[in-house]
Protein backbone atom coordinates (compact mmCIF):
# COMPACT_ATOMS: atom_id res chain seq x y z
CA UNK A 1 0.00 0.00 0.00
CA UNK A 2 1.04 3.58 -0.44
CA UNK A 3 2.35 5.64 2.43
CA UNK A 4 0.32 8.31 4.15
CA UNK A 5 -0.90 10.91 1.69
CA UNK A 6 -0.16 14.00 3.71
CA UNK A 7 3.14 15.13 5.08
CA UNK A 8 4.39 17.08 8.06
CA UNK A 9 3.13 20.62 8.38
CA UNK A 10 5.77 23.34 8.62
CA UNK A 11 5.70 23.36 12.42
CA UNK A 12 3.92 20.54 14.22
CA UNK A 13 2.73 21.02 17.80
CA UNK A 14 0.68 18.45 19.75
CA UNK A 15 -2.91 19.58 20.16
CA UNK A 16 -2.85 19.52 23.95
CA UNK A 17 -0.12 22.17 24.05
CA UNK A 18 -2.53 24.66 22.50
CA UNK A 19 -5.29 24.32 25.10
CA UNK A 20 -5.55 26.90 27.85
CA UNK A 21 -5.46 25.93 31.51
CA UNK A 22 -9.11 26.92 31.80
CA UNK A 23 -10.12 24.72 28.87
CA UNK A 24 -8.30 21.77 30.41
CA UNK A 25 -9.92 22.35 33.79
CA UNK A 26 -13.37 22.52 32.22
CA UNK A 27 -12.79 19.24 30.39
CA UNK A 28 -11.51 17.53 33.54
CA UNK A 29 -14.53 18.70 35.55
CA UNK A 30 -16.99 17.62 32.84
CA UNK A 31 -15.29 14.24 32.53
CA UNK A 32 -15.50 13.37 36.22
CA UNK A 33 -19.13 14.50 36.30
CA UNK A 34 -19.86 11.76 33.74
CA UNK A 35 -18.63 9.11 36.18
CA UNK A 36 -21.16 9.61 38.96
CA UNK A 37 -23.32 7.94 37.76
CA UNK A 38 -21.31 6.68 34.81
CA UNK A 39 -22.47 7.91 31.42
CA UNK A 40 -19.04 8.00 29.88
CA UNK A 41 -19.31 5.32 27.20
CA UNK A 42 -22.30 4.35 25.01
CA UNK A 43 -23.48 1.76 27.54
CA UNK A 44 -24.41 4.48 30.07
CA UNK A 45 -24.58 1.87 32.83
CA UNK A 46 -25.03 4.59 35.49
CA UNK A 47 -22.91 2.92 38.15
CA UNK A 48 -21.45 5.39 40.63
CA UNK A 49 -17.85 4.65 39.81
CA UNK A 50 -16.44 7.44 41.96
CA UNK A 51 -17.96 5.61 44.93
CA UNK A 52 -16.32 2.36 43.85
CA UNK A 53 -19.21 0.77 41.95
CA UNK A 54 -18.06 -1.09 38.86
CA UNK A 55 -19.58 -0.63 35.45
CA UNK A 56 -19.98 -3.17 32.66
CA UNK A 57 -16.34 -2.43 31.87
CA UNK A 58 -15.48 -3.63 35.42
CA UNK A 59 -13.58 -0.41 36.13
CA UNK A 60 -14.18 1.48 39.35
CA UNK A 61 -12.87 4.59 41.08
CA UNK A 62 -9.23 4.42 39.97
CA UNK A 63 -7.45 3.70 36.68
CA UNK A 64 -5.52 0.45 36.49
CA UNK A 65 -2.42 -0.05 34.36
CA UNK A 66 -1.28 -3.45 33.18
CA UNK A 67 2.08 -2.27 31.82
CA UNK A 68 3.82 0.61 30.11
CA UNK A 69 6.80 0.42 27.77
CA UNK A 70 8.21 1.29 24.37
CA UNK A 71 6.19 -0.91 22.04
CA UNK A 72 7.40 -2.11 18.63
CA UNK A 73 4.26 -4.03 17.70
CA UNK A 74 2.14 -1.21 16.29
CA UNK A 75 1.88 -0.04 12.69
CA UNK A 76 5.19 1.29 11.24
CA UNK A 77 3.95 4.87 11.36
CA UNK A 78 3.24 4.51 15.09
CA UNK A 79 6.11 2.34 16.35
CA UNK A 80 8.77 3.80 14.05
CA UNK A 81 12.30 2.73 14.96
CA UNK A 82 12.35 3.85 18.62
CA UNK A 83 8.98 2.47 19.64
CA UNK A 84 5.62 3.84 20.69
CA UNK A 85 5.36 4.95 24.32
CA UNK A 86 2.50 2.65 25.22
CA UNK A 87 0.35 2.45 28.34
CA UNK A 88 -1.86 -0.64 28.50
CA UNK A 89 -4.94 -0.06 30.67
CA UNK A 90 -6.87 -2.83 32.39
CA UNK A 91 -10.57 -3.45 31.58
CA UNK A 92 -12.61 -2.54 28.50
CA UNK A 93 -16.14 -1.42 27.67
CA UNK A 94 -16.40 -4.13 24.99
CA UNK A 95 -16.80 -7.79 25.87
CA UNK A 96 -15.21 -9.39 22.80
CA UNK A 97 -15.23 -13.15 23.20
CA UNK A 98 -12.13 -13.46 20.96
CA UNK A 99 -10.05 -10.67 22.58
CA UNK A 100 -6.35 -11.38 22.14
CA UNK A 101 -5.51 -9.22 25.15
CA UNK A 102 -8.20 -10.76 27.38
CA UNK A 103 -6.04 -11.08 30.53
CA UNK A 104 -5.89 -7.28 30.52
CA UNK A 105 -9.23 -6.30 28.98
CA UNK A 106 -11.53 -8.97 30.37
CA UNK A 107 -9.76 -10.35 33.45
CA UNK A 108 -8.53 -6.94 34.55
CA UNK A 109 -4.90 -7.75 35.25
CA UNK A 110 -3.38 -4.44 36.33
CA UNK A 111 -2.40 -2.21 39.21
CA UNK A 112 -4.28 0.80 40.54
CA UNK A 113 -2.75 4.19 39.90
CA UNK A 114 -3.80 7.84 39.73
CA UNK A 115 -3.46 10.85 37.45
CA UNK A 116 -0.19 12.03 38.96
CA UNK A 117 1.46 8.63 38.49
CA UNK A 118 0.05 8.38 34.96
CA UNK A 119 1.66 11.73 34.19
CA UNK A 120 4.98 10.37 35.46
CA UNK A 121 4.62 7.31 33.19
CA UNK A 122 3.96 9.57 30.21
CA UNK A 123 7.07 11.64 30.88
CA UNK A 124 9.16 8.52 31.43
CA UNK A 125 8.09 7.08 28.07
CA UNK A 126 8.89 10.37 26.38
CA UNK A 127 12.29 10.37 28.07
CA UNK A 128 12.96 6.87 26.75
CA UNK A 129 12.52 8.17 23.20
CA UNK A 130 8.96 7.15 22.35
CA UNK A 131 7.74 8.66 19.11
CA UNK A 132 4.35 9.21 20.71
CA UNK A 133 2.25 8.45 23.76
CA UNK A 134 -0.05 5.53 22.98
CA UNK A 135 -3.03 4.99 25.31
CA UNK A 136 -4.46 1.51 24.80
CA UNK A 137 -8.11 0.89 25.73
CA UNK A 138 -8.66 4.08 27.71
CA UNK A 139 -12.34 4.70 26.89
CA UNK A 140 -13.48 4.04 30.46
CA UNK A 141 -10.71 6.29 31.87
CA UNK A 142 -11.03 9.49 29.85
CA UNK A 143 -11.31 11.90 32.83
CA UNK A 144 -8.05 10.61 34.33
CA UNK A 145 -6.42 10.67 30.89
CA UNK A 146 -7.24 14.34 30.44
CA UNK A 147 -6.06 15.18 33.94
CA UNK A 148 -2.79 13.29 33.56
CA UNK A 149 -2.02 14.89 30.18
CA UNK A 150 -2.64 18.29 31.78
CA UNK A 151 -0.20 17.48 34.61
CA UNK A 152 2.42 16.02 32.25
CA UNK A 153 2.16 18.97 29.88
CA UNK A 154 3.22 21.34 32.63
CA UNK A 155 6.30 19.17 33.17
CA UNK A 156 7.36 19.04 29.53
CA UNK A 157 5.26 16.47 27.69
CA UNK A 158 5.44 17.34 23.99
CA UNK A 159 4.97 14.20 21.86
CA UNK A 160 1.81 13.27 19.89
CA UNK A 161 -0.99 11.61 21.83
CA UNK A 162 -2.45 8.41 20.33
CA UNK A 163 -5.90 7.23 21.44
CA UNK A 164 -5.94 3.49 20.72
CA UNK A 165 -9.49 2.15 21.05
CA UNK A 166 -11.99 -0.57 20.20
CA UNK A 167 -14.10 2.14 18.61
CA UNK A 168 -17.11 1.94 20.94
CA UNK A 169 -17.14 5.58 22.04
CA UNK A 170 -19.77 8.12 22.98
CA UNK A 171 -19.81 11.51 21.30
CA UNK A 172 -19.84 13.21 24.72
CA UNK A 173 -16.58 11.52 25.63
CA UNK A 174 -14.96 12.22 22.26
CA UNK A 175 -15.82 15.90 22.48
CA UNK A 176 -13.93 16.02 25.78
CA UNK A 177 -10.90 14.70 23.89
CA UNK A 178 -11.21 17.29 21.13
CA UNK A 179 -8.09 19.43 21.24
CA UNK A 180 -6.18 16.83 23.29
CA UNK A 181 -5.80 13.76 21.06
CA UNK A 182 -3.53 14.02 18.01
CA UNK A 183 -3.99 10.55 16.52
CA UNK A 184 -7.14 8.46 16.81
CA UNK A 185 -6.51 4.75 16.21
CA UNK A 186 -9.94 3.05 16.49
CA UNK A 187 -11.09 -0.39 15.42
CA UNK A 188 -13.94 -0.89 13.02
CA UNK A 189 -14.82 -4.40 14.11
CA UNK A 190 -18.15 -5.14 12.46
CA UNK A 191 -20.59 -4.14 9.75
CA UNK A 192 -23.55 -5.89 11.39
CA UNK A 193 -25.14 -5.31 14.79
CA UNK A 194 -26.23 -8.91 15.28
CA UNK A 195 -22.63 -10.02 14.87
CA UNK A 196 -21.48 -7.30 17.26
CA UNK A 197 -24.07 -8.37 19.81
CA UNK A 198 -23.07 -12.02 19.56
CA UNK A 199 -19.32 -11.56 19.84
CA UNK A 200 -18.88 -8.26 21.74
CA UNK A 201 -22.18 -7.73 23.60
CA UNK A 202 -22.61 -4.45 21.73
CA UNK A 203 -25.95 -4.56 19.88
CA UNK A 204 -25.61 -0.97 18.66
CA UNK A 205 -21.93 -1.17 17.70
CA UNK A 206 -22.30 -0.25 14.05
CA UNK A 207 -24.13 3.05 14.46
CA UNK A 208 -22.12 4.01 17.56
CA UNK A 209 -18.82 3.14 15.91
CA UNK A 210 -19.62 4.98 12.70
CA UNK A 211 -20.72 8.12 14.51
CA UNK A 212 -17.51 7.97 16.55
CA UNK A 213 -15.32 7.54 13.45
CA UNK A 214 -16.97 10.57 11.85
CA UNK A 215 -16.32 12.66 14.97
CA UNK A 216 -12.71 11.50 15.18
CA UNK A 217 -12.13 12.44 11.55
CA UNK A 218 -13.80 15.79 12.09
CA UNK A 219 -11.36 16.51 14.89
CA UNK A 220 -8.06 15.36 13.37
CA UNK A 221 -8.59 14.73 9.62
CA UNK A 222 -6.58 12.33 7.48
CA UNK A 223 -3.30 10.98 8.85
CA UNK A 224 -0.28 13.27 8.58
CA UNK A 225 3.28 12.00 8.91
CA UNK A 226 6.72 13.55 9.13
CA UNK A 227 9.44 13.08 6.52
CA UNK A 228 10.48 9.79 8.15
CA UNK A 229 6.96 8.36 7.96
CA UNK A 230 6.14 8.77 11.66
CA UNK A 231 2.50 9.70 12.25
CA UNK A 232 1.86 13.10 13.81
CA UNK A 233 -1.86 13.73 13.54
CA UNK A 234 -4.98 12.21 12.04
CA UNK A 235 -7.14 9.11 11.86
CA UNK A 236 -5.80 5.56 11.49
CA UNK A 237 -8.51 2.87 11.33
CA UNK A 238 -7.79 -0.75 12.18
CA UNK A 239 -9.86 -3.58 10.76
CA UNK A 240 -9.27 -7.15 11.92
CA UNK A 241 -10.26 -9.71 9.29
CA UNK A 242 -12.29 -12.50 10.92
CA UNK A 243 -12.99 -16.04 9.66
CA UNK A 244 -16.05 -16.61 7.49
CA UNK A 245 -16.25 -12.91 6.60
CA UNK A 246 -17.76 -12.14 10.03
CA UNK A 247 -16.20 -8.67 10.22
CA UNK A 248 -18.20 -7.53 7.18
CA UNK A 249 -15.15 -6.02 5.50
CA UNK A 250 -16.96 -5.00 2.32
CA UNK A 251 -19.48 -2.85 4.17
CA UNK A 252 -16.81 -1.31 6.42
CA UNK A 253 -14.72 -0.30 3.40
CA UNK A 254 -17.72 1.18 1.64
CA UNK A 255 -18.51 3.31 4.69
CA UNK A 256 -14.94 4.59 4.99
CA UNK A 257 -14.65 5.46 1.31
CA UNK A 258 -18.05 7.13 1.02
CA UNK A 259 -18.50 8.80 4.41
CA UNK A 260 -15.00 9.40 5.79
CA UNK A 261 -12.27 9.81 3.16
CA UNK A 262 -10.59 7.78 0.44
CA UNK A 263 -7.34 9.05 1.93
CA UNK A 264 -8.08 7.32 5.24
CA UNK A 265 -5.09 5.40 6.59
CA UNK A 266 -6.09 1.78 7.17
CA UNK A 267 -4.43 -1.12 8.90
CA UNK A 268 -5.83 -4.35 7.46
CA UNK A 269 -4.96 -6.89 10.13
CA UNK A 270 -4.53 -10.61 9.60
CA UNK A 271 -3.38 -11.76 13.04
CA UNK A 272 -6.68 -13.19 14.25
CA UNK A 273 -6.36 -16.40 16.25
CA UNK A 274 -8.84 -18.11 18.59
CA UNK A 275 -8.36 -16.57 22.03
CA UNK A 276 -10.32 -16.13 25.26
CA UNK A 277 -13.75 -17.75 24.65
CA UNK A 278 -13.55 -18.05 20.86
CA UNK A 279 -13.32 -21.83 21.10
CA UNK A 280 -16.99 -21.84 22.17
CA UNK A 281 -17.94 -20.64 18.67
CA UNK A 282 -16.97 -23.06 15.88
CA UNK A 283 -16.94 -20.31 13.26
CA UNK A 284 -14.22 -18.50 15.22
CA UNK A 285 -12.22 -21.60 16.04
CA UNK A 286 -9.48 -21.13 13.44
CA UNK A 287 -7.16 -18.53 11.95
CA UNK A 288 -8.15 -16.81 8.74
CA UNK A 289 -6.87 -18.21 5.45
CA UNK A 290 -5.21 -16.57 2.46
CA UNK A 291 -8.46 -16.47 0.51
CA UNK A 292 -10.26 -14.56 3.26
CA UNK A 293 -7.50 -12.00 3.54
CA UNK A 294 -7.37 -11.63 -0.25
CA UNK A 295 -11.10 -10.85 -0.29
CA UNK A 296 -10.50 -8.15 2.32
CA UNK A 297 -7.72 -6.67 0.19
CA UNK A 298 -10.03 -6.74 -2.80
CA UNK A 299 -12.74 -4.89 -0.86
CA UNK A 300 -10.25 -2.13 -0.07
CA UNK A 301 -9.07 -1.88 -3.65
CA UNK A 302 -12.62 -1.73 -5.02
CA UNK A 303 -13.28 1.32 -2.84
CA UNK A 304 -10.08 3.07 -3.88
CA UNK A 305 -8.57 2.88 -0.39
CA UNK A 306 -4.80 2.80 -0.75
CA UNK A 307 -3.32 4.49 2.31
CA UNK A 308 -1.92 2.61 5.28
CA UNK A 309 -0.60 -0.88 5.88
CA UNK A 310 -1.36 -4.51 5.10
CA UNK A 311 0.02 -7.44 7.09
CA UNK A 312 -0.34 -10.22 4.55
CA UNK A 313 -0.72 -13.80 5.69
Asked whether residue 56 is domain-assigned, the answer is: no
Asked whether residue 7 is domain-assigned, the answer is: no
pLDDT at position 312: 78
Asked whether residue 4 is domain-assigned, the answer is: no
Distance of CA 129 to the CA centre of its chain: 21
Asked whether residue 103 is domain-assigned, the answer is: yes
pLDDT at position 55: 87
Asked whether residue 219 is domain-assigned, the answer is: yes
Asked whether residue 194 is domain-assigned, the answer is: yes
Phi, psi at 122, each rounded to 5°: -60, -45
pLDDT at position 149: 98
Asked whether residue 149 is domain-assigned, the answer is: yes
pLDDT at position 7: 54
Looking at residue 223, which CATH number applies to its domain?
Answer: 3.20.20.70
pLDDT at position 181: 98
Tens digit of pLDDT per residue, the chain (313 long)? Answer: 555 545 555 689 999 999 999 999 999 999 999 999 999 999 999 999 999 899 899 999 999 999 999 999 999 999 999 999 999 999 999 999 999 999 999 998 999 999 999 999 999 999 999 999 999 999 999 999 999 999 999 999 999 999 999 999 999 999 999 999 999 999 999 999 999 999 999 999 999 999 999 999 999 999 999 999 999 999 999 999 999 999 999 999 999 999 999 999 999 999 999 999 999 999 999 999 999 999 999 999 999 999 999 887 7
pLDDT at position 9: 53
Tell me what percent of the residues of the chain surpass a pLDDT of 70.
97
Asked whether residue 255 is domain-assigned, the answer is: yes
Distance of CA 140 to the CA centre of its chain: 12
Domain count, the chain: 1
Segments forming the whole domain that contains residue 251: 16-51+64-310
Amino acid sequence: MRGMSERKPEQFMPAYLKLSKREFEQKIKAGFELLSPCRLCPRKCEKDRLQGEKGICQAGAQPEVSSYNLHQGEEPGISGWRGSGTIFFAHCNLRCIFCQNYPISQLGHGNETDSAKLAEMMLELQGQGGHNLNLVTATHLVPWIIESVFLARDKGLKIPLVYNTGGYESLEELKLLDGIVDIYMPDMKYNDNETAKKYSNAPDYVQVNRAAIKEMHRQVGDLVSDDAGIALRGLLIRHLVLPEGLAGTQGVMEFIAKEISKKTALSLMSQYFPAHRAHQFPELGRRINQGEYALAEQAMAEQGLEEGWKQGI
